[in-house]
Amino acid sequence: MIVKKEHVFFLVTILLSSSLFLNCQGSKKRQATDKPLIGFLMDSLIEERWARDRDIFISSVKTYGGNVIVQIGEENAKTQEAQLQYLIDQGVNSLVLIPNDPDLLTKAVQEAKKHGVPVLLYERLVHNGGADLYLAYDAIKVGELQAAYILKTIKNGPVVIINGKKNDPIAASIHEGIFTILNSEIKSGRITVVEDYWVTTGNSEEVADAIAGLIDKNIHFKAILAYNDLYAEAAIRVLTLKRLAKKVAVAGADADLAACQRIVEGTQTMTVYKPIEIIAAKAAELAVYMARNERVTVHKAIFDGSYRVPYYQLEPIAVDATNLRQTVIKDGFHLEEEVYRNVALK
């Protein structure tokens, strides 16, 4: 299986050195203020990392003299629509959105813009919404880091890829990055992809069932590349039950504490670290600038299907047992004693 690059949400390098409100033509701007009220509309707190994003974001906004109203969508786009309207009614000066669904929140983003509320999309894109700014780690790079590490580990053989949802632009970008690295190896015959699975529910149990199904069908594989650490955990849980843990290389993403513990225990091979301290603090800074109608300079844009959305891109880091201390532990992302809780400190 060789995948062609047909990723519609392509990046274009452009210079946007003027105000981000260029995307808000035709909408009235809210009054700029030195003490902005920022709306932070999140999808859920189910994954470990999101509570940390929230706390850092709130703390950072307060350092700029602002306040935050947080809403949690409980993984429901309709709920987020209602919450976004609530935030508009509360008079927020800018809005940071982690959307549940890229297709179902287009009108909500446009509604915010109609009311003069600039919108920053955090980690996830909304299709055709024309948001004012998109802030995320380079998802293509995430896939490239995973694939390069797995190639270095297994050299050759069959692999399984567990993707996010098909309508998730981040999942599509990670997938593109994986095949940017793997395509030449697939063409040479050194690598075969025995399963390229896209989740439909986003539930980790779906991932567990998919991996169990492959094993039960006696489909052999040497590595699993998982969309995130939650999916990696589900895969490893099945591998453990089937007595295949540590025999199959597993790559994840997000550097969750449990994933870092699995790495030092040897059941997970690597993860991709996207420092939350950096992205959450940057989101707070940009949201305050937007609330104050201040200029922000970015050098990339991402196409959301209708608009080129200014894209503030951050670089992820590959993490394994050899550099945990120099990355997640050094940054204070996780404590050393927590990471090594189940093994002797080395």
Query: CATH fold of 139-253, please?
Result: Rossmann fold (3.40.50)
Asked if residues 21 and 289 have their Cβ atoms less than 8 Å apart, the reply is: no
Q: Where are the domains of the chain?
A: 11-137+275-315, 139-253
Q: So what's the pLDDT on residue 29? A: 63
pLDDT of residue 6: 44
Predicted confidence at residue 1, as pLDDT, reads: 64
pTM of structure: 0.82
Question: Does this chain's domain 11-137+275-315 share its CATH topology with 139-253?
Answer: yes
Residue type, position 327, single letter: T
- At residue 9, what is the residue type? F
User: What tens digit of pLDDT does each residue of 237-250 get?
Assistant: 999 999 999 999 99
What is the residue-averaged pLDDT of the chain? 91
Q: Which CATH number fits domain 11-137+275-315: 3.40.50.2300, 3.30.30.10, 1.10.760.10, 3.40.190.10?
A: 3.40.50.2300
What is the C-alpha separation between 11 and 300, in angstroms, rounded? 7
Is the distance from CB of 302 to CB of 338 less than 8 angstroms? no
How many other C-beta atoms can be found within 10 angstroms of the C-beta atom of residue 342?
A: 10
